[in-house]
Structure 1
């Protein structure tokens, strides 16, 4: 069964690049542009991986990560994304409970590599 990924990014151009790269790699993609949309999709779709921007309208990526961590069943793998190096330089594992992080700007191959490490290369 194909792994599913929720991409949470408020900038549509950034989101499109991530979504296209992940779809080409064979993942099922859900996407959200804000915290509420993301929380709704987490609860409806229960994705295998969450790729969340830390700076979002009406909240932050931490809110989305906390919601994903409360889902029953298999844990959701989390990739935190931010342009703010101060956030990424903190201990993300403790602060946001992320499994991995990416600093913007990044190449889509970097995102794919992290996702494949988190879910196992076979999808």
Structure 2
């Protein structure tokens, strides 16, 4: 069964790079550009992994992480992404920490490696 990934990124060029790399690797992809879209997709699709930028319109990545942690059923792995290392460090000690962290800029291979580790398969 194909694993699914929700990419939450407001910058379309960044989102496109992540989506294309994940699609080439065989993942089913969902996309969101803001917190509300992300929460709706988490509730409807229950992806295996959420890749979330911590700086989003109408809220922050922490809102998305909290919603991902509430979803019943199989746990959702969460990757927090930010250009701001202080934000990533703050998330490490928060109540709802992510499962992995990526600092921008990063190579798509880094993202694929983390996703594969979190879902436990190499596609």
TM-score interval (norm. to shorter): over 0.9
- 2:46 aligns to what? 46
- 1:4 aligns to what? 4
CA distance in 2, matches of 1:23, 1:34: 21
For structure 1, list consecutive stretches of 5 or more residues without a partner in the other structure.
Answer: none
Root-mean-square deviation (CA, aligned residues, Å) is 1.2
Per the normalisation by structure 2, the TM-score is 0.95
| Cα distance change, pair 91–60 in 1 and its aligned pair in 2 (3 A) | closer
What is the count of residue pairs matched by the alignment? 123
- 1:79 aligns to what? 79
1:17 aligns with 2:22: no
SS at match of 2:36: helix
Residue 95 of structure 1, CA deviation: 4.6
CA distance in 2, matches of 1:15, 1:56: 12
Per the normalisation by structure 1, the TM-score is 0.95
Residue 93 of structure 1, CA deviation: 5.5
Structure 2 counterparts to residues 1-123 of structure 1, below 5 A: 1-90=1-90, 92=92, 94-123=94-123
- Which stretch shows the higher mean deviation, 13-22 or 82-91? 82-91
CA distance in 2, matches of 1:91, 1:36: 20
| Cα distance change, pair 91–64 in 1 and its aligned pair in 2 (3 A) | closer
- Which stretch shows the higher mean deviation, 83-92 or 101-110? 83-92
| Cα distance change, pair 24–13 in 1 and its aligned pair in 2 (3 A) | same
CA distance in 2, matches of 1:98, 1:50: 10
Greater than 2 Å deviation, 4+ residue runs? 93-96
CA distance in 1, matches of 2:109, 2:50: 17
Residue 89 of structure 1, CA deviation: 2.5
